[in-house]
Amino acid sequence: MPASVFLTGRKTWLEPLAPHHAEALAQAGAEDRTTYAFTPVPHGLDAAQRYIDRALAEQAEGRILPFAVISAEDGRVVGSTRFLELDYWQGPLIWPPAPGVPYGDPATAVPDAAEIGNTWLAPRAQGTGINTDAKLLMLRHAFETWGVRRVSFRADARNLRSRAAIERLGATCEGIRRAHSRGLDGVVRSTAFYSILDDEWPTVRDIIELRMAGTVSPAVLDRAAPDRACA
């Protein structure tokens, strides 16, 4: 399974999620919670400890790679994100396929496809560029270190804020799966699915970096980027 890694960017760095992050994670999750309607965010220290324990158990099973999101400005924990849905395509072809099972030594295997998700940020970090910077770090690692063929994203179809953020990255909408699962609020939700492929990554990377640098107006970048939003 992929090894834990530290990723450092302009506005944030990503640390492997660990038990010592619990108190800071609880503090970040205790801010105004009105933006968390569609996202599971721990509330209180006990919940933060359980959140980390579950994440580390899933990491030990090779299912996810979780991070604490740290603000580069003040070094404070402002949220969490992770790689999940790790998929491996190496080795002999078997049928039916067994997604998530690496070929060879699991300790050294890297995925061929992955999802980025379970992302949440404290209100003070929202709209600051931290989310974009974190996604750039993770996409770089996935495409340029692991060499994946696809990175995917998903969002509750009602979560227009999250979907807009994914679309600004340059991800292509693959469609909306209707009545896909039970939402955080107990309502049966539809889910919007997005992806970025390896041959799209250089263009997507350039657009994200221009946005981060602020060297070109967002309107110009929006015209340059393909229309990849869900209809």
How does pLDDT run across 17-52, given as a tens digit for each residue?
999 999 999 999 998 888 888 889 999 999 999 999
- Whether residue 68 lies inside any domain: the answer is yes
- Whether residue 231 lies inside any domain: the answer is no
3-state secondary structure of 3: coil
Position 33 scores a pLDDT of 87
Positions of E strands within 72-225: 77-87, 113-121, 150-156, 172-182, 188-197
Q: How many CB atoms lie within 10 A of CB 227?
A: 10
Write the pLDDT tens digit of every residue in 45-58. 999 999 999 999 99
Does residue 31 contact residue 81 with C-beta atoms inside 8 Å?
Answer: no
Provide the domain count of the chain: 1
pLDDT in tens, the chain (231 residues): 788 999 999 999 999 999 999 999 999 999 888 888 888 999 999 999 999 999 999 999 889 999 999 999 999 999 999 999 999 988 887 788 777 778 778 778 899 999 999 999 999 999 999 999 999 999 999 999 999 999 999 999 999 999 999 999 999 999 999 999 998 888 999 999 999 999 999 999 998 998 888 765 566 556 555 566 676
Residues 6+ positions from 72 with CB-CB distance below 8 Å? 9, 10, 11, 12, 13
Domain that holds residue 171: 7-224
Does residue 106 contact residue 62 with C-beta atoms inside 8 Å?
Answer: yes
Position 216 scores a pLDDT of 58
- Whether residue 229 lies inside any domain: the answer is no
- pTM value? 0.91
- Whether residue 2 lies inside any domain: the answer is no
- Whether residue 40 lies inside any domain: the answer is yes
Does residue 3 contact residue 53 with C-beta atoms inside 8 Å?
Answer: no
Q: Phi/psi at 80 (nearest 5 deg)?
A: -150, 155
Q: How many CB atoms lie within 10 A of CB 120?
A: 23
The CATH number linked to 48 is 3.40.630.30
Task: Give the C-alpha separation, 133 to 13, whole Å.
Answer: 9
SS (H, E, C) 21-89: HHHHHHHHHCCCCCCCCCCCCCCCHHHHHHHHHHHHHHHHCCCCEEEEEEECCCCCEEEEEEEEEEECC
Give the number of residues written for the chain: 231
Position 38 scores a pLDDT of 87
Position 215 scores a pLDDT of 60
The pair of structure tokens assigned to 174 is 């693959």
- Whether residue 1 lies inside any domain: the answer is no
